Structures are given as structure tokens and as C-alpha cells.
């Protein structure tokens, strides 16, 4: 049976180190990092995530602002709020929760965020810096996924990594990070021929397709490490349930190590968001980032 990768515990440890760093910024530099989250509309899952983010931001000692706007808010008004937050020196990180309502152009909104405050790492400037190997704010879920993989495997040097999914939010940036870790990276997606055959080559599988329980145990090379980024709400036996993109029951029998859902990558995403906020705050103040 596969080793279960405890993302919840890893994230708790990381948040503890972030809290210490925030403490030292307060005592030695007299300022508090702050994160502003913008939520447009009433999506119930988004509301839960935003509430969790705010709670954990406060728990590590940072300032948190939640801007909740009605679903019918115009693009112009969202852009105006982003501009206001860009110009507010107390705000070091800005996160606009996705997905945005259909009438709003997300790319336009993400590009309006100051790259220095873009704690999601979605701005084209940060995307470009990541892909050219420059220091930047890196997307949270990809960083959290790679941290967990390195925690179980040590070095990723020379490993065959297969990323399933090519989104701007996870697939593409996680592929960049794995490349920087010296993996041989394949990005598979919905048009990939013989997906099970491609996945079977992998020492490390990153599943980020958003399709419940798609990856089966017999797709895996025995002993492979599986990082399941999927968070899918499904109905089973009349009950709501959270499942990943991997069929956990069959995968745990073949994998060497696997992240559970919930309790795997999800908690890492928020911890990395807090990390990015401290990083952005230190850069804004021109001070060295404490160890975390």
C-alpha cells in the first residue's frame, strides 16, 4: 500500500514557520504583511475557500481584507477596486478569486493586478519570469505540489514526470517547476493519445484535470509518486463527497506514495499563498525575507 502524503500536516508546519516570520517582521521591522481577497458573486465553494484563506491569514498574524462584490458587478468596478488595492501600501498581496462571472474578462483583471502584489502568480509578468528562471511570485498550488513531491522523494533530478492537465493555474506552471527540478516533463491533456500508456512512464504523476477519479491504479508504474491536485464534489450513496482526479482506491494499491483528497494538496495551496504574501511584503519594503 502507498505511503499517504500528509499535506495537512506539512501545511501546518509551513504555517507555523510563516507565523514566526511574520512575528519577526513585526518586532524587527514594525510592519504587518497584509492580503486582500476579492470575491465576485455567490459561488458557495468559492465562499468557503475565501473564508478559509481569511481565517488562516489572521492565524499567522497577518492583516486580511475580504472584498465581497455582488455577481452583477461590472468589470470596470472590479478593475477600479484592483487599482485601489494596487495603490494601498498596507496591502502586499492581492488575490482575485476565480472563476469570475462570465461578463468579466479574467485575463484583463489578472493583468491589472500589480505584478509585485500578484500572490497567485497569474500575471503574465510572473508567468514569464517563472518560465525564464527569474525570481518571481509562483502559483500556490504548483509550489505546494512540488514541495510535497520533494518531501517524499528528496531530489527530483532525472525523474520522468507526467502532468495531466494544461491549465494556466496548475498544469503549465507545475511543469515549469518540475523542469527547474531537472525532471523530464510531459504535459498530457484531453487530446493525448493513449493517456494510460503515457502516465505509465511516470515516476511522478501530477493529476490536474478536474475530472473525478479519472486516473486508475492500472495506469501507474508500480511505486510511482502521485500528487492529486483535483478537488471534485460528487454525490455517492446519496451523500456529497470530495474526491480527487485519481481513483484513490485503485491507485493506493500501485503507487509508492499518494496525496489524499481532502488533506493533500488543498491545504498546501493556502499555506503557499501566505508564504507569497510574506515574500511580496518583504520585497515591497526592501528587506530580506526571513527563513520560512
Ligand X SMILES: Nc1nc(=O)c2c([nH]1)NC[C@@H]1CN(c3ccc(C(=O)N[C@@H](CCC(=O)O)C(=O)O)cc3)C=[N+]21
Would the annotation count 166 as a binding residue?
Answer: yes
- Pair 161, 203: CB distance under 8 Å: yes
Q: Which of 53, 117, 172, 279 is catalytic?
A: 53
95 lies in the site for ligand X, by CB under 6 A:
yes
245 is a contact residue toward ligand X (CB under 6 A): no
d(CA 252, CA 217): 7
Q: Which of 176, 269, 276, 277 binds ligand X (CB under 6 A)?
A: 269
Q: Is the dihedral of CA 168, 172, 173, 174 positive or negative?
A: positive
53 is catalytic: yes
> CA 164 to CA 171: how far, in whole Å?
7
The single residue among 231, 246, 278, 280 that binds ligand X, judged by CB under 6 A, is 231
Closest by CA position to 29, among listed 275, 276, 286, 272? 286
Annotated binding residue 201: no
3-state helix vs strand vs coil in the chain, percent to 5? 45, 20, 40
Closest approach of ligand X to the CB of residue 117, in Å: 13
Residue 262 touches ligand X, criterion: CB under 6 A: yes
Classify residue 230 as left (phi > 0), alpha (psi -120 to 50) or beta.
beta
Q: How far is the CB of 190 from ligand X (least distance, A)?
A: 20
Sign of CA dihedral 62, 52, 138, 152: positive
Nearest-approach distance from CB 200 to ligand X, in angstroms:
26
106 is in an annotated binding site: no
- Interaction of residue 270 with ligand X, rule CB under 6 A: yes
Distance CA 125, CA 134 (A): 10
Of the residues 118, 120, 203, 247, only one is catalytic, namely 120
**Residue 47 annotated among the catalytic residues of the structure:** no
Q: Is 227 in the site for ligand X (CB under 6 A)?
A: no
Q: Is residue 165 part of an annotated ligand binding site?
A: yes
**Which residue number has the CB closest to ligand X?**
266
Handedness of CA 189, 215, 233, 259 (dihedral sign): negative
The smaller minimum CB distance to ligand X, of residues 36 and 195, is found at 36
Q: Is the peptide bond before 262 cis (omega within 30 degrees of 0)?
A: yes
- Contact between 179 and 146 (Cβ < 8 Å): no
Which of the residues 32 through 71 are near ligand X (CB under 6 A)?
48-49, 52
x/- mask, ligand X, residues 111-140, rule CB under 6 A, reads ---------x-------------------x
Q: Which of 185, 143, 191, 193 is nearest to 162 (CA)?
A: 185
Return the range that interacts with ligand X (CB under 6 A); candidates 206-214, 219-227, 258-266, 275-283: 258-266
> Smaller CB distance to ligand X: residue 33 or 203?
33
For the bound state, the minimum distance from the C-beta of residue 261 to ligand X, rounded and expressed in Å, comes to 6
Nearest approach in angstroms of CB 140 to ligand X is 5
What is the spatial distance between Cα 64 and Cα 66, in angstroms, rounded to a whole number?
7
**For this structure, is 56 an active site residue?**
no
Cell of 7: 499535506
Q: Which residues contribute to the site for ligand X (CB under 6 A)? A: 48-49, 52, 95-98, 120, 140, 231, 242, 261-263, 266-267, 269-270
Catalytically active residues are 53, 97, 120
Amino acid at each position: 500500500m502507498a505511503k499517504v502524503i500528509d499535506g495537512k500536516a506539512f501545511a501546518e508546519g509551513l504555517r507555523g514557520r510563516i507565523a514566526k516570520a511574520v512575528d519577526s517582521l513585526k518586532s524587527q521591522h514594525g510592519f504587518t504583511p497584509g492580503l486582500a481577497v476579492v470575491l465576485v458573486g455567490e459561488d458557495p465553494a468559492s465562499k468557503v475557500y475565501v473564508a478559509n484563506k481569511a481565517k488562516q491569514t489572521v492565524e499567522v498574524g497577518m492583516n486580511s481584507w475580504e472584498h465581497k462584490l455582488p455577481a452583477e458587478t461590472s468589470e470596470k468596478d472590479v478593475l477600479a477596486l484592483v487599482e485601489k488595492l494596487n495603490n494601498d501600501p498596507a496591502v502586499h498581496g492581492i488575490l482575485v478569486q476565480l472563476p469570475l462571472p462570465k461578463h468579466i474578462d479574467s485575463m484583463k483583471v489578472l493583468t491589472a493586478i500589480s505584478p509585485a502584489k500578484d500572490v497567485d502568480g497569474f500575471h503574465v509578468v510572473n508567468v514569464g519570469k517563472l518560465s525564464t528562471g527569474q525570481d518571481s511570485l509562483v502559483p500556490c498550488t504548483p509550489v505546494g505540489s512540488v514541495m510535497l513531491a520533494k518531501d517524499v522523494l528528496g531530489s527530483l533530478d532525472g525523474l520522468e514526470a507526467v502532468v495531466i492537465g494544461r491549465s494556466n493555474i496548475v498544469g503549465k506552471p507545475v511543469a515549469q517547476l518540475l523542469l527547474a527540478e531537472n525532471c523530464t516533463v510531459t504535459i498530457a491533456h484531453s487530446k493525448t493519445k493513449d493517456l494510460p500508456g503515457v502516465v505509465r512512464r511516470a515516476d511522478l504523476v501530477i493529476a490536474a484535470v478536474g475530472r473525478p477519479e479519472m486516473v486508475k491504479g492500472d495506469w501507474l508504474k508500480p511505486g510511482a509518486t502521485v500528487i492529486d491536485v483535483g478537488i471534485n464534489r460528487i454525490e455517492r450513496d446519496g451523500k456529497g463527497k470530495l474526491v480527487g482526479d485519481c481513483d484513490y482506491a485503485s491507485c493506493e494499491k500501485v503507487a509508492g506514495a499518494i496525496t489524499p483528497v481532502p488533506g493533500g494538496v488543498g491545504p498546501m495551496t493556502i499555506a503557499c499563498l501566505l508564504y507569497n504574501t510574506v515574500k511580496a511584503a518583504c520585497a515591497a519594503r526592501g528587506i530580506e525575507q526571513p527563513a520560512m
